Amino acid sequence: MSPWIFPIALEPETSDPVYLQITRAISADIRRGRLGPGASLPGSRTLARTLGVHRNTVLAAFRELQAEGWIESGRNTTKVAEVLPQPPLEIQGVVPNTLGFALETPPGPSLSCPITKPGGLVFGTGLLDLRLVPTEDLARAYARALRSRPLLGYGEPKGDLRLRKALATLLSGVRGLAVQPEQLMIVGGSQMGLDLVTRTLLRPGDRVAVEDPGYAPAWVTLRLAGVDLVPIPVDRDGLRVDVLQERISEGPIRALYCTPQHQFPTTVTMETCRRAALLDLARRHRMAVLEDDYDFEFPFDGSPALPLASADQAGVVVYMGSLSKVVAPGLRLGFVSGPQAFVDALALRRYAADRQGDQVLERAVAELLEDGLLQRHIRKMFRIYQSRREALAEAIRQELDGAVHFERPSGGMSLWLEVDSSLDVEAWAARARQKGVVFHPGSHFDFKGRSLPNLRLGFSSLNEEELQEAVRRMKQCLHR
C-alpha cells in the first residue's frame, strides 16, 4: 500500500508528552469505530514524517498501544488488534443518534434482495433476465460517448437532448403520445421520477388514491411526502372508477397513482370505458393521474391498449416509464412526461438535489435507439419472454393443476395466480423458500398487508428449464 496521510491533531501548547497524545488519538479512533479490527496503520517512519515528529516518538506510542491491547505488530506491519480491550462506541450503544432526535422509518418492503440457497430460483415481480442484457452493444456505445468531453461536464437537468428526442419519437410512434423533447425529463428510474413528481405536485395532507392491491414501493414514496393514501379496489377490468368517484365525494383527491396497462400486481388491463370515465373524472375534479407504464414493450396477445396519456386532452396525466425492462435496472434510467410547465418545475427540483443524470450513459442509450439496436433487442426479448410465459403456464397446468387458477394476461412479465382456499399461501411461500424457490404471496401487495389467496410469479428472469424446476419444487411444498 502506498504511503497515506493519517490525521492526528497534536496540541503543542499542552504539557502532555507527544507520544501520549498519539496514543490517545489512535485509541480514540479505534473506540469510535474509525479504525476497525485488522485495519492497517501507517508505518512509524511515514507517521513520524506526517506529524513532523521523531520516529522514536511514534515507536513509543506504538509500544504503549500494543501494551494496552489496541494494536498488533507483525513483520513490517502494524494493525489494529482483531480482539479489542473495549468494543467500539457504536456497538456499546453510546452513540445512538448523532442528530439528537428520533428518526422515523417509513413502512415498506425490505431493502435487501431475496437470498436463497446455492441453486435457488427467484420468481421476480417482473424483472428482466440480466444474462440477456446487450452488454457488448452498450459497452461500445458507452465508450463512444465517453470520448465526448462535453458530456463529462455539466448538462441539462432534463437529461441528454438526443435521448429525449429519441424517446419522444418512440413514445409518439409506438405509444400514441403527442410529446415533444421539452415535455420529457430523464430520471434515475421510475421510482425517482415518482419521487420528483410527488414532491413537486403534492403537499402534506393531500389525499392520493392508489390501487389495492398495488405497488408497495410507490406507497412508501407517497407517504414520505406526508399525503393520506386512499385505497381503491381493483377487479377483472382494472381500477374501480365508481369507487374512486365515491371517495372523491367524501373529500377532494389531489392525485391517483395507477398502472392501467398491466395492473400491478394483478396484470389486468383497464377496460376502455373505465379509461374514458377516469379521464373525465380527473378533468372535472382537476385530479392528477400519475400513470406508471412499467412494461408496455411486451404485449403478447394482439395490439396493446394505448396509455391514458395518449387520450389526455385536459393535461391531467403525468406519464412515467422506465428503460429497466429493456436495458437493465442497474442503469437507473426512466422518464417522466407531462405538460411542459410541469416538466420545467420537475427539472428545478432535480437541479436542487441531483443537478443532472449520467450524461454519458444517456448518450449511449440514445445511440442504441437512434441506430435501432435497442428496438431489435426488444423484439428479441419479446420472443424469448413470450416463450417463457407459455413454458410457465404449461408447467403450472402440469404440476399445480387444482391448486391454483389463473388467466393468461395479454402482456407483461408476470402471472397472477388465484390459490385454492385449502392452501395457506404464506406457509407455502415459507416452505418453498426452504426448497430454494422464492415467490411473492398476495399479502405483499395488499394495502393493509392482509393475506390474499393469490401469488405473483414473474417469468422473465428465469429460462424455461429453470421455470419448470421452480414449479416442480413448488409442488413438493404443497400441503393442503
- Do residues 144 and 345 touch, judged by C-beta distance below 8 A? no
What pLDDT is recorded for position 12? 77
Mean pLDDT of 370-377: 92
For 212-254, what is each residue's pLDDT tens digit? 999 999 999 999 999 999 999 999 999 999 999 999 999 999 9
| Model confidence at 287: pLDDT above 50 | yes
The pLDDT of residue 326? 82
Hey, is 322 helix, strand or coil? Answer: strand
Q: Is residue 420 part of a domain?
A: yes
300-325 pLDDT tens trace: 776 778 999 999 999 999 999 998 88
Question: Residue 14: its pLDDT value, please?
Answer: 82
Q: Which of 326, 354, 375 is the last residue of a domain?
A: 375
Q: How much is the pLDDT for 95?
A: 47
Separation CA 434–CA 437 (nearest Å): 7
- Residue 228 and residue 354 in one domain: yes
For 16-47, how does the pLDDT look when each residue is reduced to its tens digit (9 = 90+)? 899 999 999 999 888 888 888 988 888 889 88
Please state the rounded mean pLDDT for residues 464-477. Answer: 95
Q: pLDDT for 243-264, tens place per residue?
A: 999 999 999 999 999 999 999 9
Is there a cis peptide before residue 106, judged by omega within 30 degrees of 0? no
Tally of structural domains, the chain: 3
Q: pTM to 2 decimals?
A: 0.83
Residue 3: the pLDDT is 47
pLDDT digits (tens, 9 = 90+) for 422-447: 999 999 999 999 999 999 999 999 99
User: DSSP character for 458?
Assistant: E
Q: What is the CATH number of the domain that holds 471?
A: 3.90.1150.10
Share of the chain above pLDDT 90, in %: 66
3-state class (DSSP) for residue 347: helix
Do 319 and 187 fall into the same domain? Answer: yes
Query: Average pLDDT over the chain, rounded to whole?
Result: 89
| Greatest mean pLDDT among 8-12, 146-150, 343-347 | 343-347
CA gap 387, 391 in Å, rounded? 6
Q: What is the CATH number of the domain that holds 329?
A: 3.40.640.10
Q: Is the pLDDT of residue 360 over 60?
A: yes
Considering the domain architecture, whether residues 363 and 395 belong to the same structural domain is answered as no
| 105 assigned to some structural domain | no
Q: Using CB atoms within 10 A of its CB, is residue 370 exposed (0-12), middle (13-18) or buried (19+)?
A: middle
Contacts of residue 348, Cβ cutoff 8 Å, sequence gap at least 6: 157
Q: Are residues 237 and 273 in the same domain?
A: yes
Whether 218 and 347 map to the same domain: the answer is yes
- What pLDDT does residue 409 have? 84
Task: Flag whether 216 is in a domain.
Answer: yes
CA dist 292 and 338 (Å) reads 12
Q: Is residue 358's pLDDT more than 80?
A: yes
For residues 384 and 326, the answer to whether their CB atoms sit within 8 Å is: no
pLDDT > 70 fraction of the chain, expressed in percent and rounded: 92
437 and 335 in one domain? no
Q: How many distinct helices (H) and strands (E) make up the chain?
A: 15, 16
Here the cell at position 79 is 494493525
User: What are the residues facing 185 on neighbouring strands?
Assistant: 336
Residues 325 and 436 in one domain: no
Q: What's the pLDDT score for residue 21?
A: 92
pLDDT in tens, 55-71: 999 999 999 999 999 99
Radius of gyration of the chain (CA): 28
30 and 54 in a single domain? The answer is yes
Q: pLDDT digit string (tens) for 407-416?
A: 988 888 899 9
pLDDT number for residue 301: 75
Domain assignment present for residue 11? The answer is no
- Is residue 78 within 8 Å of residue 186, measured between CB atoms? no
User: What mean pLDDT comes out for the span 91-107?
Assistant: 56
Cell of 118: 446455492
Same domain, 231 and 340: yes
In this prediction, residue 113 has a pLDDT band, given cuts at 50, 70 and 90, of low
438 and 344 in a common domain? no
Name the band, by pLDDT with cuts 50, 70 and 90, for residue 399: very high
Q: Which domain holds residue 345?
A: 133-375
Question: Looking at the domain assignment, is residue 52 inside a domain?
Answer: yes
pLDDT of 94 > 50? The answer is no
How many residues belong to the chain?
480
Give the contacts of 330 (CB within 8 A, at least 6 positions apart).
none
Q: Are residues 208 and 175 in the same domain?
A: yes
Judge whether 384 and 95 are in contact, CB under 8 Å: no
What's residue 2's pLDDT? 44
Residues 348 and 384 in one domain: no
Cβ neighbours of 442 (radius 10 Å): 23
pLDDT at 204 exceeding the cut of 90: yes
Q: 104: helix, coil or strand?
A: coil
Given 375, 394, 409, which residue is the final one in a domain? 375
